[in-house]
Amino acid sequence: MAINSPLTELDINLADKGFYKGFNQIVTIGTKILIALLVIWAAVFSEQAGAVLKKMQGWSFESFGPWYIYAMAFVVILCLILAIYPAMGKIRLGGENAKPEFSTFSWFSMMFGAGVGIGMLTFSSAEPIYHFASNPDTIMGLVEPKAQETLRSVYKWSFFHWGLTAWGCYGIVGLVLAYFSYNRNLPLTIRSGLTPLFGKKLEGIFGDIVDITAVIATILGIAVTIGYGIAQFASGMHTVAGAQWMVNADGSPTNTAMLIALCVVMATSILSAASGVGKGIKWLSNLNMVLSFSLLAFFLIFGAPMVAIESLFLGIWDYIINFPVQAITYWPNSEVEPAATLYKWQSIWWTVFYWAWWISFAPFVGLFFARISRGRTIREYVLGTMVIPAVMCFIWFTVVGGTAIDLELTGKAGGSILGAGQEAQLFATLSVMLSPIMAKGMSFMVVILLITYLVTSADSGILVINTINAGGDDRQKGIKHIIFWGVALTTVIAVLLLAGGLTALKSAMLVGALPFSAIMVLMGFALLKALIRDAMRSKEKNFKGIPADAKQI
């Protein structure tokens, strides 16, 4: 029995005139209304909004914690299977004759900058330092906290959070979109990734809801990432300039400092987005990769290289051995210790929050990955978007975080790094390592690197939002639409910061992460179905491609 040909056309309704010419008005206007309602609510009823968002965060983590754990385990397994299985791994995105648009260095630079650059600068020192004091192994009494023996457990958990799971989340969304866009000629938008499951139903309101969900998740995911970035930016500027108005009494950045940093970053992002992927974003990505390697080399030479090398290899070994258990372990809420603390550690402070963050970031990063990955094979794509970036994160965490831990273990830091806020721990590490003048110089370099990561993430996000709103048309949009979404993103971040700081930003992010997590899992099943059916079609004797008059499914 012959298998029907795949769906290769998806008619998305786009306006043919006026301000929204080339855009899907339901998706674009619907998203604007929902974002406007969030901004008005958070601005007018800021205390209530902050409290409600915090309650929503707790409810989401407690009710859907297991879902986040198992959904992320599924996408990692699927990505690895697709890369390893010979017949699927050799499939080229765009067809056999497709050639990559970007060099391997630029391709990797843009992926790394858009995917995790900002978070890495904050957490490469902050997370190892935190796990040095508390992680599941210390909570269960398996190792002593803040001791030499704690190091292996530190990296077992740090690598778990920044390894294959994070990048697999981004990778599966990008792979699905790239395959259906470049191999089946469907629009480069989220709804296209569900066509094997829902077919032509995605042309109507159902497809609009899918794309609206993706845009909302993108906006809120970027908001959290930029929120962390500008907090560290403000802390860095205080370190360099010494202006007391930039920090509160507890050392955290003031709202004024973060809002000024936000305006500077977003104004630069709008200019970069207006220049397109091939110019501003590519140049900035290459620059931040060069600066990143320079900073990494500095820590490797002047930090604790032996601790870093030992931690890297032992950490990777521990990660590989423990990953199957870690990936499916969930600690439910409890009133009994240590279960109560394990639940808080996993669901409120670290793992489940991270998984929600990665998921909310996935439509943006995934679509951006798809946009720049035409011409790559599935195996090359998975290696480039999932395995290599994970190893890069491992190197950063052991080189930078290992230096911070070594300074505390040897007593040189005297608790100054452990006592600093997350946004200030990298600068505190530099202050212990170097003379005051040298520390300011290196801190200024970190600030510049941070700006490039912030701008790269923000301008890429603006372009992705416009692409989804335009039904997958990734061509350069008019400057007025770029400016609008740049201003809208700035407003969302500013209002939520004033309503409840980073806590409000993180809580709002969950609004987008939860529904999109279901879409992400369905996209994985859709891709698997499509690849299996394509393999079956290729084995049919008379299969010559996709007939123009064939029934499509």
CATH at residue 343: 1.20.1740
The CA distance from 98 to 96, in Å, is 6
Cα torsion 254, 259, 262, 264 to 10°: value is -110
Looking at the domain assignment, is residue 291 inside a domain? yes
Looking at the domain assignment, is residue 211 inside a domain? yes
pTM, two decimal places: 0.88
b/e for 31-53, b at 16 or more Cβ within 10 A?
beeebeebbebbeeebeebbebb
The CA distance from 545 to 538, in Å, is 8
User: Over 70: is that where the pLDDT of 337 sits?
Assistant: yes
pLDDT digit string (tens) for 526-536?
Answer: 999 999 988 88
Q: How confident is the model at residue 432 (pLDDT cuts 50, 70, 90)?
A: very high
Q: How confident is the model at residue 545 (pLDDT cuts 50, 70, 90)?
A: very low
pLDDT digit string (tens) for 106-153?
Answer: 787 777 665 566 677 788 888 999 999 999 999 999 999 999 889 999
In the prediction, which pLDDT does 550 show? Answer: 41
Range of the domain at 221: 25-42+111-537
| Beta carbons of 95 and 372 less than 8 angstroms apart | no
Looking at the domain assignment, is residue 10 inside a domain? no
| Beta carbons of 400 and 425 less than 8 angstroms apart | no
Instruction: Provide CB contacts within 8 A for 72, sequence distance 6+.
Output: 165, 168, 169, 327, 355, 358, 359
Looking at the domain assignment, is residue 442 inside a domain? yes
Phi, psi of 312 (to 5 degrees): -65, -50
Instruction: Provide CB contacts within 8 A for 494, sequence distance 6+.
Output: 259, 262
Q: How many domains does the chain have?
A: 1
In the prediction, which pLDDT does 266 show? Answer: 84
User: Of 457, 455, 481, which Cα lies nearest the Cα of 469?
Assistant: 481
Looking at the domain assignment, is residue 18 inside a domain? no
User: Over 80: is that where the pLDDT of 284 sits?
Assistant: no
Instruction: Provide CB contacts within 8 A for 270, sequence distance 6+.
Output: 459, 462, 482, 483, 486, 487
Instruction: Provide CB contacts within 8 A for 549, sequence distance 6+.
Output: none
Looking at the domain assignment, is residue 50 inside a domain? no
pLDDT digit string (tens) for 402-416?
Answer: 999 999 999 999 999
Classify 5 as helix, strand or coil.
Answer: strand
Q: Give the residue with greater pLDDT, 540 vs 180.
A: 180
pLDDT digit string (tens) for 60-111?
Answer: 888 899 999 999 999 999 999 999 998 899 999 998 888 888 888 778 777 7
Looking at the domain assignment, is residue 188 inside a domain? yes
| Beta carbons of 365 and 114 less than 8 angstroms apart | yes
Going from the C-alpha of 175 to that of each of 117, 169, 387, 519, the distances in angstroms are: 21, 10, 14, 14
Of 68-77, 150-159, 379-388, the least confident: 379-388
The CA distance from 377 to 98, in Å, is 10
* Residue 453 tokens, joined: 């990561």
User: Over 60: is that where the pLDDT of 542 sits?
Assistant: no
Angle formed at CA 69 by CA 63 and CA 70, multiple of 5 degrees:
105
The CA distance from 486 to 359, in Å, is 22
Q: How confident is the model at residue 547 (pLDDT cuts 50, 70, 90)?
A: very low
| Beta carbons of 141 and 338 less than 8 angstroms apart | yes
Q: How confident is the model at residue 548 (pLDDT cuts 50, 70, 90)?
A: very low
Q: Give the residue with greater pLDDT, 13 vs 227.
A: 13
The CA distance from 327 to 407, in Å, is 31
Please report the DSSP string for 351-400 in residue order.
HHHHHHHHHHHHHHHHHHHHHH-TT-BHHHHHIIIIIHHHHHHHHHIIII
The CA distance from 13 to 44, in Å, is 35
Looking at the domain assignment, is residue 302 inside a domain? yes
The CA distance from 100 to 438, in Å, is 42
